[in-house]
Amino acid sequence: MTDAAPSYLADQRRHKGLAGWIFSTDHKRIGVLYLWSILTFFSVGVLIGVVMRLKMLWPGEHLYSAAAYNAFFTVHGVIQIFLFIIPGIPAAFGNFILPLQIGAKDVAFPRLNLLSWWVYVVGAILALTALLSGNGPPDTGWSFYVPYSLRTNTNVTLAVFAAFILGFSSILTGLNFITTIHRMRCPGMSWFRMPLFTWSLYATAWIQILATPILAITLILVMAERILNLGLFDPARGGDPLLYQHLFWIYSHPAVYIMILPAMGVISEVIPTFCRKNIYGYKAIAFSSLAIAFVGYLVWAHHMFTSGMSDTARMVFSLLTFLVAIPSGVKVFNWIATMYKGSIKIEPPMLFAMTFLFLFSIGGLTGLLNGALATDINVHETYYVVGHFHYTMFGGTGMGFFAALLYWFPKMTGKMYNKRTIVVAWAHIFVGFNMLYFTMMIMGWMGMPRRYYSYPPEFHTYHVVATIGSWLLAIGVFMFLGAFIAALRKGQPATANPWESATLEWQTPSPPPTENFHDIPTVTGGPYEYKGGHPA
């Protein structure tokens, strides 16, 4: 191959046009396929969120029925969790960037990788079918708690089956990444020379493999109960509904680390690049990812403090919950220490990385109140939890996802977006976000329960502020996404290394050729070595 090797976008293989994408085993094309699919569902999820907030402008019955409201919050949750945040960063950016970062030509199992995208699409189609057919979309909340999920006539069985299928996609991606990282690192790429994004994907992949099967069996049980009437969760027949909650959270708590760890990996890439400095505490960040993956597996029952568990269990889970805050804190302090005395350049990716730090810290600190038994009892099932969750997941993972998009978009497409538009969009997002979710936390603190269709008049002002915030946030998000569409049409060409970053993915052209590197690179140093403001 010569220097003129065509980019992966131009390289014509066996299939042409759309087929050249949906049947491609190239990790970069699959990453882009995932990105498009995920952004589409994310936009739908945002719109449903806006519709939910719209109803909350006034108390009482108007706009649509309470049953529709139940369906909206369920569908919003199912889409944003199973179709956006969980696959989000690993499937889109992990697929594209991981092999580039370790100097590989592709992932270990390219066809399995394509299969995982197809499985994702099938899962998504089933999910949409569940929403639009039968007795209407599920109205159980995304957690499908029994006994209600077994009694409701809505399309729960199909929705649960869709989530089950999506789990397969997640598992396939996980085992592909682990094998890739173990087997396909280029010469010289030792474990402690791997970029931290790769480390975070490694930790995430382990959680995907170890936790997702528990979700699978939980969802199988819901389906089996609905179809075969096993009675395993029916107290009248000796069953225990609490066990459903245990099984559900054994997966779904580790799942929040599937969501957040890759975002933390993105931040660990962006911060050293824009501070022109080696990352502070490389090994501490790498190991804290593994520690989060491990301890995060053991904290699930903190979702069930009010469920009637024994006090011993509650105290143990509360303690473990506080322990998992330690590795998260280690990361935040290391990022800030990296910025200290760095020559910080606030480009769009850095702007969103700093937003991540700010919002995720609020999310993390407010989470401690949920981890403590005494306070959690009061705020459980209130808007406080909703606010906290969105600060960590949207303010954390969402901002990490945006930072990743801004950071790697020039690499993926060879185009640069309009930075000014991004800053304007950011201002909308930042103001709208805090108006919406901080107000929610205040309301929750005052006792506003979540998932309620109406509310007493004293909450009216707060709901109006939150709803206006949701408009600003949505405008910001769509302005942000629009900037990328505009860049695809008429963006300036991007250079191979527009951010002057030191990691491997920037040492190949933008967009990269199909085989990724002209020659397989040999690595001789750490991933974040800068000298005089340039990669060493």
Partner 1 sequence: MSTPTHTTHEYHPDSTGSKIAMWLFLFTELLLFGGMFLLYAVYRAKNPADFHYASLNLDTKVGAINTGILLTSSLTMVLAIGMLERRNRKASFWLLVITIAFGVWFLINKYIEWSHKIHHGIYPGSEELIGRTAGENLFYSLYFLMTGLHGIHVIAGLIVLGFMAWMVARPHQRSLPISALSAEARPNAVSVTVEYGVDPKLDEQKLIRLENAGLYWHLVDVIWIFLFPLFYLIS
Residues that bind partner 1 (CB under 8 A): 25-26, 105-106, 108-112, 171, 174-176, 178-179, 182-184, 209-210, 212-214, 216-218, 220-221, 224, 228-232, 237-240, 243, 246-247, 250, 514-515
| Radius of gyration of the chain, Cα coordinates, nearest whole angstrom | 23
Nearest to 299 by CA among 367, 345, 235, 236: 367
Q: How many other C-beta atoms are found inside a 10 Å radius of the C-beta of residue 235?
A: 11
- Nearest approach, Cβ of residue 309 and partner 1 (Å): 13
- Nearest approach, Cβ of residue 221 and partner 1 (Å): 8
User: Smaller CB distance to partner 1: residue 18 or 227?
Assistant: 227
Nearest to 500 by CA among 474, 532, 463: 532
User: Smaller CB distance to partner 1: residue 131 or 299?
Assistant: 299
User: Smaller CB distance to partner 1: residue 240 or 529?
Assistant: 240
User: Smaller CB distance to partner 1: residue 313 or 332?
Assistant: 313
Q: Does residue 147 have a cis peptide bond before it, meaning omega lies within 30 degrees of 0?
A: yes
SS3 251: helix
User: Smaller CB distance to partner 1: residue 104 or 194?
Assistant: 104
Q: How far is residue 140's CA from residue 148's CA, in Å, rounded to a whole number?
A: 7
Q: How far is residue 263's CA from residue 456's CA, in Å, rounded to a whole number?
A: 38
Q: Is the dihedral of CA 428, 43, 222, 234 positive or negative?
A: positive
- Nearest approach, Cβ of residue 209 and partner 1 (Å): 5
User: Smaller CB distance to partner 1: residue 112 or 523?
Assistant: 112
Q: How far is residue 31's CA from residue 73's CA, in Å, rounded to a whole number?
A: 29
Q: How far is residue 430's CA from residue 391's CA, in Å, rounded to a whole number?
A: 11
- Nearest approach, Cβ of residue 515 and partner 1 (Å): 7
Q: Does residue 99 have a cis peptide bond before it, meaning omega lies within 30 degrees of 0?
A: no
Q: How many other C-beta atoms are found inside a 10 Å radius of the C-beta of residue 491?
A: 19
User: Smaller CB distance to partner 1: residue 105 or 518?
Assistant: 105
- Nearest approach, Cβ of residue 217 and partner 1 (Å): 4
Under 8 Å between Cβ of 419 and 351: no
CA dihedral 359, 360, 361, 364 (to 10 degrees): 130
Q: Which two tokens stand for residue 444?
A: 């929750």
14, β-bridge pairs: none
- Nearest approach, Cβ of residue 227 and partner 1 (Å): 10
- Nearest approach, Cβ of residue 457 and partner 1 (Å): 46
- Nearest approach, Cβ of residue 171 and partner 1 (Å): 6
User: Smaller CB distance to partner 1: residue 230 or 424?
Assistant: 230
- Nearest approach, Cβ of residue 333 and partner 1 (Å): 33
Nearest to 495 by CA among 427, 414, 389: 414
User: Smaller CB distance to partner 1: residue 181 or 260?
Assistant: 181
